[in-house]
Structure 1
Amino acid sequence: MPTARFFNPAVRRREFLRAGGLSLFGLGLPDYLRAADKPSPRRGRAKSCIVLFMWGGPAQQDTWDPKPDAPDVYRGEFGTIPTAVPGLRVCEHLPELAKRADKLCLIRSMTHPDVNHLTATHHLLTGRAAPAGPIADDWPNYGAVLAKLGRGAGALPPYVSMMPVVPDGAPRFVEESHGQGAGLLGPVYNPMRIDADASSPDYKVGELTLSAGLDADRVGGRRGLLDSLDRQVQRMAAAELDAAEANRRRAFELIASPAARAAFDLTREPMAVRERYGMNRHGQSVLQARRLIEAGVPLVTVFWPNDGITNVSVYWDTHSRNFIDLKTRLCPVTDRAFSALLDDLSARGMLDETLVVWTGEMGRTPKVGQSVPGGAGAGRDGRDHWGRVFTTVLAGGGVKGGAVYGASDKYAAEPANLPTTPADLAATVYHSLGVDPRTEIHDRLGRPLTLCDGEVIRGILS
């Protein structure tokens, strides 16, 4: 690789050291992304995907699949409102999304048997049940597969995860949940993970704001810096050596690229736009995702943030305070951010080429106060874990708007028709992105595996 490309005189030695993997984004050098293979041929309509992942499992009957005629103990406290689609009603606390329901496809018959947050997350983000064993043996996330197939271009990574950290907040699922990374494809395809709070006034990603100028001393120090990085490489496992040089180059190019840095600069957005998304962690993370997709990143996952609340249910895991929390801190925030995203993608002519997936890893029990084996229990005003039926929402990317696929029974307890598995969802996501769900991949030992065994949900595709 020509030295002139690797060293950019606009980048100070300190930033170059960071680009080598010593501190960039908290990832080790072999963990940073590259896409080494040639890009795969595309067949789907979508060029990119934003996954809005609602940690904890939203209550289906209190959001997208209300049961107004069920007894109170099933129905819950909320009323329903009409939407832009005649005959379709949703929870009263999703008014902006109700107005945009003509852009949404509600899959009301999602189902799987898992009530464990950590392994159910793997199922939704990969289309495969979580294997027994460490996260390194996981099936790969959608984004890791796109990275492996060579999607994306330029300095920006092909796969980004937004996971804001809250100091002294409640415990996060982030560190233990399966299905977030590359798993058996190897750490080189793991996401660039952003822990920074996008709503913070001093939001920065890896300190990408650089100082101009490089004096003779700094130029003379390059050799020592390279020696230091080379020593890191020598300590790596043999399987990671090829990745190390490519990752070092990719990380440095990200630091050195003004266009890449601009994609992370939310101050470039008018304040009115930022406020439409909501000046909170989730809203600004969704806006950041839109900017990254617009800049060419193929897949961004926005994980619902830890809101720092302790001693009550966190995320969408409403074992208690189900109706209070949905009404005050969950539905309004997602309603605002998701609707703003739909508006922006539509206004920019990007919605048809961007698949948006809104989902949690499961739903909640049909009965208020109901506890289930393997769950974590429920208070008098809460709902426990429930995977047997829940709702996933899709938009854009060649998916029909104003559609409802499948249905739950009268208590939102089981699929009434068209049961849809996470494998079917994964097959549909891959198909929309131009990836054959039956693509053969190989684990770290070179063994051939089929990417996904689900069936494409063709009834929702336009």
Structure 2
Amino acid sequence: MRHGLFDRRSALRLGALPLLAPGVPTTVHGAKLDGPAKACIFIFLWGGPAQQDTLDPKPEAPVEYRGEFSTIQTALPSVRVCEHLPGIARRLDKVCLIRSMTHDDVNHTTAPHLLLTGHPMANLGQPLRDDFPGMSSVLARMGRGKGTDLPPAINLMPHSPDKAPRFVESTHGQGAGWLGPVWQPMRIESDPSSSDYTIGEITPAADLAGNRMAERAGLVNGLEASSPFTSADSSAQARHREQGFRLLANRKAAAAFDLSREPLALRERYGMNIHGQSVLQARRLVEAGVPVVTVYWQNDGITNVSVYWDTHQRNFIDLKTRLCPPADKAFCALLDDLEDRGMLDETLIVWSGEMGRTPRVGQSVPGGAGAGRDGRDHWAKVFSSIVAGGGFRRGVVHGSSDRYAAEPSTSPVRPADLVATLYHRLGVPASGHIHDRLGREIPLVRGEVIHSLLA
């Protein structure tokens, strides 16, 4: 982002700051925001990690199923994980591992809708604005995060220098959907590991103060007034523009994005890479009062071969080098950091992709994208997720998959059940209803709270 220069594009972006609305009535009937968890960091491993090559290995299966990796003992007796997740292995007694996540959507852009909202897509061709609102936007609409200096929902979607396509931007369920643009999470695309990391929406240029701030606010107003495009969306944005400019000038808000305030040793514990510093950024935002931060995996990898965690080819070499090491390091640093700061009991951490990968190496499935000899295709019948903190039990392995990691064998967990449980821990009744744009009552989520996961 350009720092110290205010061009037309920047002006329009400033005018589009969402989630700065005045007080609004609660939309979930009977909601009491007094759950043990005050915030949630969702680390979204976009693309779908291979369950049998990460958290649910099958060392006794034939080689074409179990893959190339060895397994290592964890902090829990008789529980093993992939050799390339040593940090998680040592901390498995501090988290809840779910090995029986299941659904039937093998599309990368629509499956996240299940994980982020608890609802299937109503129409596979629908635009993002027609999505069911994500958890972060629902909480924002209910007033969670009011009184803070920052937006109550932020999506970290950092750009990688790799030329891999930005599939993550078309992910359904990431935003406010039909709640409207006012409740849309702020999306941040800057690379927090870069030496010139700045957030244009939050960090004003050094000279952007006093009269100059007012002048530039006037510029944005003038640009909109002269635009031939008007809509309810732009009107909603205009209602909060003044608050947006106050946010821009807020030094405390800007400080939340200043990673240089962290000790170098701590930054290195997270990993001096895009993902590690994004996870650290999420911790700083939660600490500053942002209720929900979603960290999306960056667009790394090799175009048309293996991008994000979507390992249709190079599954083993990419997991061993590009994916597992930074993911393991960042997650463990966050877990330890939150515990050291006394924040873990009030902060949920979710570590998950939207699906898993085929049981057999090289196996292709209908609706997938195929697999090379060293790859695995899409697979949603079973995959693994980790939840920690926020009142979830520690040292629990919930559910199991069959001998090939192909289907759940015990205690299947639907995404709607996980979302219902997260809402419950955040103090929101999962049985509640939310009003849509027409004032109709719609169930917040059609899942069951999994009480056996809760402390």
Which TM-score applies when normalising by structure 2? 0.92
- 2:206 is the counterpart of 1:211: yes
Q: What pairs up with 1:48-447 in 2 under 5 angstroms?
A: 48-132=39-123, 133-152=126-145, 153-167=147-161, 169-206=163-200, 208-211=203-206, 218=212, 221=215, 224-225=218-219, 228=222, 231=225, 236-238=230-232, 241-246=235-240, 248-307=241-300, 309-447=302-440
Of stretches 223-232 and 451-460 in structure 1, the one that deviates more from structure 2 is: 223-232
Q: Is the 8 A contact 2:17 2:186 kept in 1?
A: no
2:46 partner letter? W
1:37 aligns with 24
Tell me, in whole angstroms, the C-alpha distance in 2 between the residues paired with 1:426 and 1:414: 21
Gapped regions of structure 2 (runs ≥ 5): none
1:9 aligns with none
Tell me, in whole angstroms, the C-alpha distance in 2 between the residues paired with 1:262 and 1:312: 39
1:237 CA drift (Å): 2.2
1:18 CA drift (Å): 8.8
Cα displacement string for residues 318-340 of structure 1 (whole angstroms, at most 9, x for unaligned residues): 11111111011111010100000
Distance change >3 Å, CA 14–CA 253, structure 1 → 2 = farther
1:166 CA drift (Å): 2.8
2:37 to 26, 43, 46: 46
Tell me, in whole angstroms, the C-alpha distance in 1 between the residues paired with 2:332 and 2:242: 37
2:443 aligns with 450
Q: Is the 8 A contact 1:277 1:286 kept in 2?
A: yes
SS class of match (1:374) = coil
1:406 CA drift (Å): 0.7
SS class of match (2:371) = coil
1:230 CA drift (Å): 6.5
Gapped regions of structure 1 (runs ≥ 5): 1-11
Distance change >3 Å, CA 60–CA 17, structure 1 → 2 = same
Tell me, in whole angstroms, the C-alpha distance in 2 between the residues paired with 1:266 and 1:429: 28
1:307 CA drift (Å): 1.6
Q: Is the 8 A contact 1:45 1:352 kept in 2?
A: yes
Q: Is the 8 A contact 2:162 2:299 kept in 1?
A: no
- 2:9 is the counterpart of 1:22: no
Number of equivalenced pairs: 445
Tell me, in whole angstroms, the C-alpha distance in 2 between the residues paired with 1:187 and 1:373: 35
Q: Is the 8 A contact 1:33 1:191 kept in 2?
A: no
Of stretches 446-455 and 295-304 in structure 1, the one that deviates more from structure 2 is: 446-455
1:389 CA drift (Å): 0.3
Which TM-score applies when normalising by structure 1? 0.90
Tell me, in whole angstroms, the C-alpha distance in 2 between the residues paired with 1:222 and 1:255: 11
1:184 CA drift (Å): 1.2
Tell me, in whole angstroms, the C-alpha distance in 2 between the residues paired with 1:74 and 1:334: 23
1:30 CA drift (Å): 6.6
Q: Is the 8 A contact 2:155 2:185 kept in 1?
A: yes
1:29 CA drift (Å): 2.1
Tell me, in whole angstroms, the C-alpha distance in 2 between the residues paired with 1:215 and 1:113: 55
SS class of match (2:40) = strand
Of stretches 31-40 and 164-173 in structure 1, the one that deviates more from structure 2 is: 31-40
1:257 CA drift (Å): 1.3
Cα displacement string for residues 209-265 of structure 1 (whole angstroms, at most 9, x for unaligned residues): 54258677x48847954752672799532465355222x133222211111100000
SS class of match (1:416) = strand
Distance change >3 Å, CA 16–CA 258, structure 1 → 2 = farther
SS class of match (2:154) = strand
- The CA RMSD measured in Å over matched residues stands at 2.5
2:140 partner letter? A
SS class of match (2:437) = coil
Distance change >3 Å, CA 268–CA 112, structure 1 → 2 = same
